[in-house]
Amino acid sequence: MGHVKLGLVGYPVEHSLSPRMQQAAMAHLGISGEYLLLPTKPAELPARLREVAANYAGVNVTVPYKRSVMDLLDDVSEDARKIGAVNTIVNEDGYLRGYNTDAAGFYWSLKRHNVLPGEALVLGAGGAARAVVYALVEKGWLVGVANRTLARAEELAQQLGAWLVAPAKLEKAVRRTPLLINATSVGLEDGASSPLPPGVLPEAGVVVDLVYSPLRTKLLADAAAAGLETIDGLQMLLGQGMRSFELWTGRKAPLEVMERALGKVV
């Protein structure tokens, strides 16, 4: 394997932790290469993908392009098509194939914490929420979806086989769910905000927040104070990053090395 050029396409991308994680993995395995941040404005996206096809082994894709990039690729994997989002592109001799490693990365984080299948409630209806719902439904979970924009939650639920939680039923659904996942951006860079009303938490079980900046969001702090098990957003980031690395390099991702690299920046 020659020099491997990887990157992250999105806007903005400056605060991403992916370069540390992917760079550490390459260094550990003796792979010559770099993982670059590629801030890309919407009008620049087609040209950026042409650049990827010419010069990169692959890239990650983040907000706001996980959905719009699909129409610009040569092929999209079946699970990415069902989820409706691509977060990883592999360059096969100029042929760009899109994948979604968010779903597998999220489910890996649940297995790592010995969370057993059952019922779950997902807050949100964006790309991350779609990946989470897909992963859970595929593994036989019963999944409820709640979102501020009801129409988006309804569309997601219908497409992916979940059930819709109406706003009036949210508090009751939260209290009885054994697994709650925040897949919204509420709490991002804001330690005072939670996606839930004050005092509303599951009565027992596990609370997951996909936000990782801050690492201990208000939702997770409240859940921990209530005696609930918590899983932070670095776990899904790590899980999806490992799977992206394996798609690009064909090598097994070094879990401990990648996790240690993330630990140094949080």
Kindly list the catalytic residues.
66
Strand partners for 180: 121, 207
Q: How far apart are CA 122 and CA 210, in angstroms?
A: 11
Nearest CA to 241 out of 11, 10, 16 is that of 16
Q: Do the bridges between strand 95-99 and strand 88-92 make them parallel or antiparallel, or are there none, so unpaired?
A: antiparallel
DSSP one-letter code for 109: H
Q: How far apart are CA 47 and CA 34, in angstroms?
A: 21
Torsion angle in degrees (nearest 10) through CA of 251, 258, 11, 195: 120
Which region holds residue 30: left if phi is over 0, alpha if psi is between -120 and 50, else beta? Answer: left
Q: What angle do CA 95, 10, 158 make, to 5 degrees?
A: 80
**100, 203, 219, 220, 223 from 231: Cα distances, Å:** 21, 16, 11, 8, 10
Strand partners for 142: 119
Q: Could you tell me the two tokens for 115?
A: 């969370």
